[in-house]
Copies of this chain bind each other. A is one copy, B any other.
Amino acid sequence: MTLPPHPLPQLPALPPAARIGDALADVDTPALLLELDAFERNLAKMQAAADAAGMALRPHAKAHKCPSISLAQIERGAVGICCQKVSEALPFVAAGVRDIHVSNEIVAPAKAALLARLALQARFSVCVDDQQQVELLAAATAEAGSRLDLFIEINIGQDRCGVSDVAAVQRLLERIAPRAQLRFAGLQAYQGSIQHLRGHAERRLAAARAAERTAEVVAALARAGVPCPVVTGGGSGSVEFDLASGVYTEVQPGSYVFMDGDYGRNEYAGTLRFEHALFLATTVISSGGGERTIIDAGLKSLAVDSGLPEVWGAPLDYVAASDEHGTLRPREATAARAPLGTQILLVPGHCDPTLNLHDELIAYRGGIVEAIWPIAARGLSR
């Protein structure tokens, strides 16, 4: 038997988008970038604000899905993290995070069983707004031999999850009380729609209304002899008001680490304005016969639910997204066109679902790649 004259070559592997030490200009695109100086200033600013208010900072990991970021937050003083799904918590536990709040309700036995087993490895809490969830968690923790902290979620105006009145809270407390493995840890009160009100004054007013509804429930429970050890909620758009509200004991902002395009469009009066630290690197791939500027990043590289991305540092607008293309338009018709191969940085409109499209975050400083962090919880939505 003789070897064939032209053996089939090995299937080539996809080269990495970047290596540590590479210049930013050499990153293969589309690629998600983190500017470390701005990122670290954002971390420090938020931690200092929470410390000054005497409040716990429990940043939301759904914004980034990246254990390296959670560890950086905890190193600077965060008490733990939030996750939005049970499966999302797995890579964070694996990375060493030991205090996780699942800021959501679960009803599937498979999810309760996983959460109860994870609670053997770290302190876990989860939200409830229905007695069925309490029964499910009681059974799962009994089976696993673990303990869970429960937060009763109250609706303070978002009209999503959460019970609406104190009587409903008390009915849930009656269900929790006899279960030795479950502990009432406090209230979750989150009003997501405040976060994106553009005006500073209207955001302050809406945050005050939400805080007032929360305070009414806390006061009614206190009158009934029920203390709320923790009141958790808030987000990057309302955090300056949440910290000053006098009702929250813990805040859950997530997007502040990146300051995505949508939050960037809010007006800020106070000092808690964060810096853009998240960029999508893209490349001009076509001039459309000399008439257009087409880049290699569209719906599969960035989320457009909160608007199209902004072009960073260049007088261009991103005007149309298809699956894998973006169309840029110069603000002035007479502007010189960016040549093929030009690297263009974008500020994504909404960080959370954009991070969920990528497997790694290329962290750089001074134009040089310094680290490549896995977005380890990407796709973990169960």
Contacts and interface: CB of A to CB of B under 8 A. Distances in A.
B352 A323 contact: yes
Given A108-B28, A379-B358, A299 B303 contact: yes
Interface stretch (A73-81, A85-93, A239-247): A85-93
Contact of A288 (B11, B162, B292, B340): B162
Contact of A300 (B192, B284, B299, B353): B353
A232 interface: no
Contacts of A90: 11-12, 14
**How many subunits of this chain does the assembly comprise?**
2
Q: For A11, A87, A378, which residue has the most chain B Cβ atoms within 10 angstroms?
A: A11
| Closest 7 pairs (CB-CB, A-B) | A163-B289, A161-B286, A164-B289, A12-B117, A299-B353, A84-B324, A105-B286
A366 interface: no
Contacts of A292: 159-160
A105 B285 contact: yes
Interface residues of A, number: 82
A129 interface: yes
A132 interface: yes
Contacts of A304: 305
A322 interface: yes
A114 interface: yes
A98 to B, nearest CB: 11
Contacts of A356: 300, 357
B161 A294 contact: yes
Contacts of A291: 159, 164
Nearest to A353: B299
Contact of A382 (B29, B161, B162, B341): B29
A350 B286 CA distance: 25
Interface in A13-60: 14-15, 17, 28-31
A72 to B, nearest CB: 21
A107 B285 contact: yes
A279 to B, nearest CB: 16
A188 to B, nearest CB: 12
A161 B284 CA distance: 11
A110 interface: yes
A148 interface: no
A236 interface: no
Interface string A147-180: 0000000010001111111001000000000000
Interface string A313-340: 0000000011111010000000000001
